Amino acid sequence: MLVIRMQRTGRKGHAMFRVVVQDSRRTPTSGKVVAQLGSYDPHAKNASVDKTKAQFYLDHGAQPSERVIRLLKAEGVKLPKWVELSDKKAGKLRNPEKLRRNRPAEPEAPAEAEADAAEPEASAEALVAETPAAGAEAPAPEAEAEAADKAA
């Protein structure tokens, strides 16, 4: 039995796919293909498929994979009645209770929020008052040590 599937090519991290017709007993990486129908670039979402070849193999019983069915349908290839596109699977969440939308609402205290916001401003002003001005630099520790040696 023949299948229409995608064969991965391209370098690591940048996949490209060939749309090929292959014997179902072979792996996609075996390289033994009956026909090459086109290619698909998932990064740019570009697909080029030979519609007449694809239609020929579909009419003669080649089974397309799920992804190839979507690709051929988007390219405008008329699919036989026996080819069915399954519904989209619903993704299963592992820990739905950890989602923000499922957490209970936390009550906010506006008076406390205003008091907390005022504190950083006051502490910032106190720090500015304590630090010396940019023009008046503190004496270096080495200079203090030299002055102490001269005095002794």
Which CATH number is 6's domain given?
A: 3.30.1320.10
Residue 54 lies in a domain: yes
**Alpha-carbon span 24 to 129, nearest angstrom:** 79
Q: Give the model's pLDDT for residue 148.
A: 64
Residue 17 lies in a domain: yes
Query: How far does CA 125 lie from the centroid of its chain?
Result: 44
Q: Nearest-5° angle of CA 15, CA 20, CA 26?
A: 95
Residue 110 lies in a domain: no
Residue 135 lies in a domain: no
34 in Cβ contact with 22 (< 8 Å)? yes
Q: Give the model's pLDDT for residue 115.
A: 57
Q: Is 96 helix (H, G, I), strand (E, B) or coil?
A: helix
Handedness of CA 11, 54, 82, 34 (dihedral sign): negative
Residue 62 lies in a domain: yes
How many structural domains is the chain composed of? 1
Give the residue ranges of the chain where pLDDT is below 50. none
**Residues in Cβ contact with 121 at an 8 Å cutoff, skipping those fewer than 6 apart:** none
Q: Give the model's pLDDT for residue 147.
A: 64
Q: Give the model's pLDDT for residue 11.
A: 92
Q: Give the model's pLDDT for residue 137.
A: 59
Question: Nearest to residue 56, comparing CAs of 48, 65, 64?
Answer: 64
Residue 35 lies in a domain: yes
Residue 150 lies in a domain: no
Against a cut of 0.85, is the pTM above it?
no
Residue 45 lies in a domain: yes
Domain that holds residue 61: 2-75
